[in-house]
């Protein structure tokens, strides 16, 4: 029975479009945020200022470029997908130290921020895997 199920799944895993679906979903948090910042730049600047990043406009622009550019490189599956994944991974690590400083908090707030940090670490793992997958797909195409 498992064999009859695994054949269609194996076939599905070899389709080109499934990579793109996975890449879009993995990067949603980044390109969604980048588009929101782009369409409401004033709010993006306020967000940067809230975390003490000055000048806020420069940090907002840099964030938008990393989020949208990194996502595009991953989704494209190009030979530079690793660069997009690396940029987003560094960005994600930095957000833990800038926005989710759970080690400076107590109680429920510390718990919630720690969970955000753990989720960020998990996303970094996904970015590593997608960069490996993009490279393997490129070499076997």
> What is the percentage of the chain residues whose pLDDT exceeds 70?
98
Q: At what angle do helices 107-140 and 16-39 cross, to 10 degrees?
A: 130
Total domain count, the chain: 1
Does some domain include residue 33?
A: yes
Does some domain include residue 58?
A: yes
Q: Please give the pLDDT value at position 16.
A: 86
Q: Please give the pLDDT value at position 2.
A: 64
**pLDDT tens sequence across 75-117:** 999 999 999 999 999 999 999 999 999 999 999 999 999 999 9
Token digits of residue 38: 């782009």
Task: Classify residue 81 as exposed, middle or buried by CB count within 10 Å of its CB (0-12, 13-18, 19+).
Answer: buried
Does some domain include residue 125?
A: yes
Does some domain include residue 18?
A: no
Does some domain include residue 9?
A: no
- Cα 33 to Cα 43, 51, 65, 108, distances in angstroms: 12, 16, 11, 25
CB 130 within 8 A of CB 82: no
Q: Which helix (H) or strand (E) holds 51?
A: none
Does some domain include residue 62?
A: yes
Sign of CA dihedral 63, 64, 70, 75: positive
Q: Please give the pLDDT value at position 111.
A: 98
Interatomic CA distance for residues 55 and 39, integer angstroms: 19
What letter would DSSP give residue 100?
-
Does some domain include residue 15?
A: no
For residue 128, the enclosing domain spans: 25-140
**pLDDT tens sequence across 80-90:** 999 999 999 99
Does some domain include residue 1?
A: no
**pLDDT tens sequence across 34-69:** 999 999 999 999 999 999 999 999 999 999 999 999
């Amino acid at each position: 029975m498992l064999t009859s199920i695994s054949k269609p799944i194996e076939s599905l895993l070899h389709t080109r479009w499934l990579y793109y679906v996975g890449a879009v979903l993995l990067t949603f948090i980044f390109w969604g945020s980048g588009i929101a910042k782009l369409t409401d730049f004033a709010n993006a600047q306020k967000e940067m200022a809230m975390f003490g990043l000055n000048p806020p406009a420069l940090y907002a622009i840099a964030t938008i470029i990393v989020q949208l550019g990194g996502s595009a490189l991953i989704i494209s599956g190009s030979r530079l997908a690793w660069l997009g994944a690396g940029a987003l991974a560094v960005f994600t690590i930095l957000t833990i130290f800038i926005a989710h400083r759970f080690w400076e908090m107590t109680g429920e707030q510390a718990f919630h921020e720690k969970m955000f940090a753990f989720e960020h670490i998990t996303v970094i793992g996904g970015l590593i895997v997608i960069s490996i997958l993009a490279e393997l797909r490129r070499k076997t195409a």
